[in-house]
Structure 1
Amino acid sequence: MSHLTTPGAVIYAKDLSKVSCFYEQLLQSIATHAEDEYTVLELPHFQLVIHAIPDRIANTFQISSPPKRRGEAATKLMLPVASISKAREVAANLGGQIDAVDREWEFQHCRICDGHDPEGNVIQVRELISR
């Protein structure tokens, strides 16, 4: 299967710098490439691209503070973290949120919790449970 590209996702952001910083710190990753219009984060076996929303579109809406979670989206990113507790702190410091401990659940050897980034995009973080 080496002939296939790395799987990944694209997140569109009104504030490219803020959203890129959020995911870089949440995932303990570094940007491998950055331009005025996008940032690329490389994880093992996954590439996350944060792409700036063009000004002509970005100027037509506002992001509230705190951001309103956009839970109606058809897709939710599942992101690996070493610690949900640490991810909760990082997210809060960067304008996002990981839900409270009482909203966590376990599934397929993972502890899982939903949240959102600084622009309200819904995410799910997953911490491997040691057995």
Structure 2
Amino acid sequence: MLQQGLVVFAKNKKRVSAFYQQTLALAVEESDTSHDLLRGHGYEVVIHTIPRKYAAGIAIEKPPKPREETPFKPTFVVASLADVRRAVEETGGYLKPDTGAWHFRGHTVLDGWDPEGNVVQFKQPE
């Protein structure tokens, strides 16, 4: 099966991995101290630990602020934005309010971010 992939570098691999597992209903296929390989629904997401010497210089606020300076925003089609919202709340991420949703090409679209502020977009088919 062809998998679309994404690598997310994380200061806290466990927390960020839980976010993607729950919001995208992905299974942990492989895990060690350096990374978690998550797969399911045509996605392959690798959560890779940032080396300590670099991670020490990264501050993650609580709640996390979005890292809007990056030129990339991954987009995922999901069955239910309501399910994503529950998963986001359980794992320390953020999803914009439903009033901030827009409609684009047959999908209801909402942006959010993971527990470290990496911006992610979720799209539910209408």
TM-score by length of 2: 0.94
The answer as to whether partners of 2:25 and 2:40 remain within 8 angstroms in 1 is: no
| Aligned partner (choices 77, 80, 83) of residue 83 of structure 1 | 80
Task: Give the direction of change, closer, same or farther, for the CA distance of 1:114–1:42 in structure 2 (3 Å limit).
Answer: same
Q: CA RMSD in A?
A: 1.4
Instruction: Point out where structure 2 has 5 or more consecutive residues left out of the alignment.
Output: none
Which whole-Å CA distance do the structure 2 matches of 1:6 and 1:86 have between them? Answer: 23
Give the counterpart of 1:104 among 101, 106, 122. Answer: 101
Partner of 2:51: 54
Structure 1 segment 108-127 matched on structure 2, within 5 A: 108-127=105-124
Kindly provide the amino acid, as one letter, of the partner of residue 23 in structure 1.
Answer: Y
Q: Give the structure 2 partner of residue 18 of structure 1.
A: 15
4+ long deviations beyond 2 Å: 43-46
Post-superposition offset of 1:6: 3.3
Matched residue count: 126
TM-score, normalised via structure 1 length: 0.90
| Letter of the 1:53 counterpart | I
Residue 81 of structure 1 aligns with an amino acid whose one-letter code is V
SS in 2 for 1:102: helix
Which structure has the greater CA radius of gyration?
1
* Cα deviation, residue 80, structure 1: 2.1
Q: Which secondary structure does the structure 1 equivalent of 2:89 belong to?
A: helix
